[in-house]
Amino acid sequence: MDSVDLSVLKSLQEWQAGGLPLWLVTVVETFGSSPRPPGAMLALRGDGVAVGSVSGGCIEDDLVLRAQRGQLVLDRCEVVAYGVTREEAQRFGLPCGGAMRLVIEPVGKQAWVGQVLQLVQSHRLLRRTLHLDSLQVVIDNASRSDSMRFDGATLASVHGPCWRMLIIGAGQTSSYLARMALALDYKVIVCDPRAEMRQTWDVADTTLTGAMPDDAVLALQADATTVIIALTHDPKLDDMALLEALKSPAFYVGALGSQANNAKRRARLALFDLSSDEIARLHGPVGLDIGSRTPPEIAVSILAHLISCRNQPAPAAGATQAVNQSPAIA
C-alpha cells in the first residue's frame, strides 16, 4: 500500500466520525492507456470532498458532482465504466483508447477501515475481500504472490505492509533521503550513536535512535520490506550495520562511497562471518548512476534505484555504477 492509498483509508476513518455519506472508489480494470492502475483508490464524502485519485482529474470531478447531487447509492456497490466510447474518453481526459472500470463502495461506520489501518501499521500483509451485493468485508492474511482480483461479484485487494527504511547516520544526505522516503510511504528510522549529530536532526515523523548500528539492525528485525542504507561514511559505524544487514532478509542494503571505497569495504566485510553471496548483496556505491554529487541529488539517486528495484527484477548486486564520485565523499 503506497502513501496515497494509506491517506485514502486514513481520511475515511476520520470522516466516519461525521454524519456525511462516504464512498471508497477503486479502479478494478483498465483498458488501453489509463492514468491510474488497477487498485488505485479515492475516498469520497457526500459534500464532495475527495482524497486520492483514480484518473487525471475529470473522472474525480464527475464523481464529486454525483456525490453532491445524491446520485450515488448507499445500500450496495456500483460498478461503473468511463471512457468506453471515444467521445467519453475525450470528455474525461483519458488517453486515446483508454477506459477504466470502477467499483463505488459505500462506507458507513464499518470497522474494517480501522482494522486494515491497524494491521498495515503493524506490518501485516493482508487481503480485504469485498462482496459487492452484501457489502460484507472479510480480512485475512495475504502472500506476496497475491494481487488485486475482481470477478464482478467480489473485489479482493491486497494491503500493507508499509516499507521501512533504516538510515545509518543523521547527516545532511540522510535528512534529504528521509524527507523524500516519507513521501514514498517508508517508515523511516534513523540511527546515529553520535550525540552531536542527533542534536541537529529535525525531520518530523521519523524515529531517531542513538543505538549502535548493529544493535539497531538487529532490533529492526528486517524483512523483505526493509531497506537499510549506511550513510555515515565512517567505516566504524557503517560496517557495523552492514555486517548484520547483509545477513538479514532485507530487501535492499546499500552504502555510500566511491567504487574504490566500496571495494575496500567488501574486503573488510570478507574478514568476518559473511559469505561471498551475502557480500554480493551490497549496493555500493548506493543508488543509480545519475552523476549525483550534492546531498539531495544523492538522495534522489538512492530512491530512484529503490523504485526501480521494487517495480522490476533487481540487477545483480554490485552492477550499479558509482554515483558519488566527488573527492569530498570518495
Q: Tens digits of per-residue pLDDT, 248-295?
A: 999 999 999 999 999 999 999 999 999 999 999 999 999 999 999 999
In the predicted structure, residue 312 carries a pLDDT above the cut 90: no
**pLDDT tens track for 186-238:** 889 999 999 999 999 999 989 999 999 999 999 999 998 899 999 999 999 99
- The mean pLDDT value for 161-179 works out to 93
Q: How confident is the model at residue 317 (pLDDT cuts 50, 70, 90)?
A: very low
Q: What is the pLDDT of residue 70?
A: 95
Q: What is the mean pLDDT of the chain?
A: 88
Q: Is 5 exposed, middle or buried (0-12, 13-18, 19+ CB in 10 A)?
A: buried
- pLDDT reading at 145 higher than 80: no
For residue 82, pLDDT beyond 90: no
Task: State in Å, rounded, how far the first CA of the chain is from the last one.
Answer: 37
Q: Is the pLDDT of residue 31 over 80?
A: no
- Nearest alpha carbon to residue 262 among 174, 325, 173: 325
The three cell numbers locating residue 177:
533521503
Of the chain, the percentage scoring pLDDT greater than 90 comes to: 69
Beta-bridge mates of residue 50 = 44
- The CA distance from 224 to 249, in Å, is 6
> 183 falls in which pLDDT band (50, 70, 90)?
confident
C-alpha to C-alpha distance for 192 and 169, rounded to whole angstroms: 5
Band (329; pLDDT cuts 50, 70, 90): very low
Look at residue 91 in the predicted model and tell me its pLDDT: 60
Average pLDDT of span 314-321: 45
For position 321, what pLDDT does the model report? Answer: 41
The answer to whether 26 and 41 have CB atoms below 8 angstroms apart is yes
Give yes or no for a cis peptide into 161 (omega within 30° of 0). Answer: yes
The per-residue pLDDT for 130 is 97
Domain ranges of the chain: 3-159, 163-329
What's the confidence (pLDDT) of residue 327?
A: 33
Phi first, then psi: give them for residue 116, nearest 5 degrees.
-65, -45
**Confidence class of residue 76 from pLDDT cuts 50, 70 and 90?**
very high
pLDDT-derived band at 4 (thresholds 50, 70, 90) equals confident
163-329 architecture in CATH?
Answer: 3-Layer(aba) Sandwich (3.40)
DSSP per-residue string spanning 192-231: ---HHHHTT---TT-EEE-S-HHHHHHHHT--TTEEEEE-
Q: pLDDT band at residue 87, thresholds of 50, 70 and 90?
A: low
CA dist., res. 274 & res. 280, Å (int)? 10
Helix axes 295-311, 172-183, angle to 10 degrees: 40
Give the pLDDT confidence score for residue 79 in this predicted structure.
95
pLDDT in tens, 88-141: 655 655 555 568 899 999 999 999 999 999 998 777 889 999 999 999 999 999
Q: Residue 42 CB: number of other CB atoms within 10 A? A: 26
Cell representation of residue 149:
482480483
Q: What is the rounded distance in angstroms from the CA atom of residue 70 to the CA atom of residue 85? A: 26
